[in-house]
Structures are given as structure tokens and as C-alpha cells.
Amino acid sequence: MKRNLLFCLSVLVCFALTGCVTSGTYQKKELEAQNLEKSLQEQRGQYNILMGENDQLKNDIKKLTADLAAMTGERNALTADKKGLEDTLRSTADAKNQKIGELSQKVGELSSNVAGLEAENKRLKEEVARLQKQKEEVQKTSKTYGDLLEQMKGEIAKGQVTISELKGKLTVNMVDSVLFDSGKAEVKPEGLVVLQKVVDILKTVKDKAVRIEGHTDNVQIVGQLAKRYPTNWELSAARAINVTRYLQQQGLDPALLGAIAYGEFKPVASNDTEEGRAKNRRIEIVLVAKE
């Protein structure tokens, strides 16, 4: 039974930790939360069954211990009987001793079983708590995901923004043209309007860290612009920092903010076409677990 239970729990964890939620699969996240609730109830049911078995074994030990005490008393009484009954007494005492030995062994076995069940009960309680926490995380992430979809549906429809979730990591991907003019790192006024929509949602998220990632295509910076940004590293860093600073100015906890520059080295599309290069020039706002 323990082996089957462990296998089921392993399968459940594998399913719970994998998957990507996109705008087309929001309902699947709700279903995932319902499945976790069902799994939680099943684990609680297993826990209650094991607790019942545990109580039954303890009652058996109590009864056997009483039997052991009673038989020990009988043996002592026979030992004190008349000399003429010694042969009968010896035979009876031997039988009682054998029975006592058998009962003692049984008590030891049952005690070992109780210890094993108590350990299993503890493990199941911890697993129930873990599943409950995981269920709450899925529900929170799904709500944030849904709120962002609703808040930014206009930008999503225009192909300017994509929102995705993978293994608990929620990502808002913005093409650079939404936020910046070409070759610039300062967020333009229209970009601030878009960022404010994200800020309004992020202010409701208290249990996640926010990472701002700057990305570029592989076209090298030339001319006068290269004096300010010698490589794509510097440009992506400046853009990520400016977005991060804006989020802080809007009231987000700076202890939960981080800016990262990837330059051209984490493309999401081929740089061989203008369309691919446009996708690679982006800012990603990523919600991750607190460290």
C-alpha cells in the first residue's frame, strides 16, 4: 500500500510542477487547481485510514499486554502450588512460558508496525501541507495571469505583448518598440502607459520577486551610439535598469526587484530575418519565487 501511495504522489508532483499556461489555456490552470484539491482530499482520506489502523494496532497491543500479564499471574500461581502437582505444574508452566514468548514477540512486531505507521502518518501530513501550499500557489499565479491578460488585452491583440507561465514562473514579454525609440534606453511616454498597466497588477503580488530582463538582437551598435553603448550588453542593461527604476518609483519594493542584461545571447527567434530580430529586441518582466 505504501509503495502504491508513494508512486501516486510522485506522479501527482510531476504533473503539478510541469506545464505552461498561455492565454489559450487559462481554463486548464483552473482545472489544475481543482485536481490538486481532489488529490489533497485523497491524501487526507489515506491519512485518516492509517490513523484508524494505528489506533487498532494500539488496542491490540493493550489487549495482548493484558493477556500477557494474566498468563504471567497464572504461571506464578502454578509455581506456588502443592508439591504433588509439580509435574503437572511444570508442564503447564512450560506451555505458559511458550505462550508468553509468542505473545511478547507479537507485541514487539505490533510495536514496530505502530512506529512505522506513525512515521508514515507524519510523512502524509507533510505531503498534505505541501499539496495545500502548491494548490494556493497555482491559484495565486492563475489569478495574476488572468488579471494581466485582462489588463493588457489590447497590447496582446496587437502582438506587442505576450504573457506566459511555465513551472510557476510568470513572464510578461514586451517588444522593445512598445517601450523605447530606436537606439534609446529611456522609456517613452507611450511605454510608461503600458508599464503602468503591469504595475497595477504587480502591486497586488506580495509573495514573488520581480526580475526585469533586457534583450537585443545580434546587430552590433555602430556610429555615435556606440560611444554610449559599446555593445548590446550596455544597451540591454540600460533599458532593464530604466524599467526597474520606474517600477520602484511606482511603489514596488526595491528589495524584490532585479535588473538583468542578456544582450543578444538569449534570442527567442532567428536573427536572420527582420521579424525574428524584432522579437529578440524585448523586455521581459518575470515573476519568480522569492529566494
How confident is the model at residue 95, as a pLDDT? 83
How would DSSP label each residue in 52-121?
Answer: HHHHHHHHHHHHHHHHHHHHHHHHHHHHTS-GGGHHHHHHHHHHHHHHHHHHHHHHHHHHHHHHHHHHHH
How confident is the model at residue 89, as a pLDDT? 66
How confident is the model at residue 170, as a pLDDT? 87
| Segments in the chain forming alpha helices (H) | 2-17, 26-79, 86-151, 153-157, 176-179, 189-202, 225-228, 232-249, 274-280
Residue among 178, 283, 199 at smallest CA distance from 241 = 283
288, β-bridge pairs? 209
- Which H or E element spans position 209? strand 208-215
Q: Given the DSSP bridges, would you call strands 282-289 and 169-175 parallel, antiparallel or unpaired?
A: antiparallel
- Which domains does the chain carry? 2-19+26-136 (1.10.287.1490), 152-289 (3.30.1330.60)
Residue among 146, 153, 155, 266 at smallest CA distance from 218 = 266
Query: How far is residue 200 CA from its own chain's centroid?
Result: 25
How confident is the model at residue 283, as a pLDDT? 95
How confident is the model at residue 284, as a pLDDT? 96
Say how many C-beta atoms besides its own lie within 10 A of residue 168's C-beta: 17
How confident is the model at residue 214, as a pLDDT? 97
Q: What is the mean pLDDT of each run of 10 residues along the chain (291 residues)?
A: 51 45 68 83 86 87 86 77 71 82 82 78 63 48 63 69 79 92 93 91 87 96 93 97 96 94 96 95 91 76
How confident is the model at residue 289, as a pLDDT? 83
Residue among 5, 107, 3 at smallest CA distance from 49 = 5
How confident is the model at residue 126, as a pLDDT? 66
How confident is the model at residue 127, as a pLDDT? 63
On the CB side of 84, CA atoms within 13 Å amount to 0
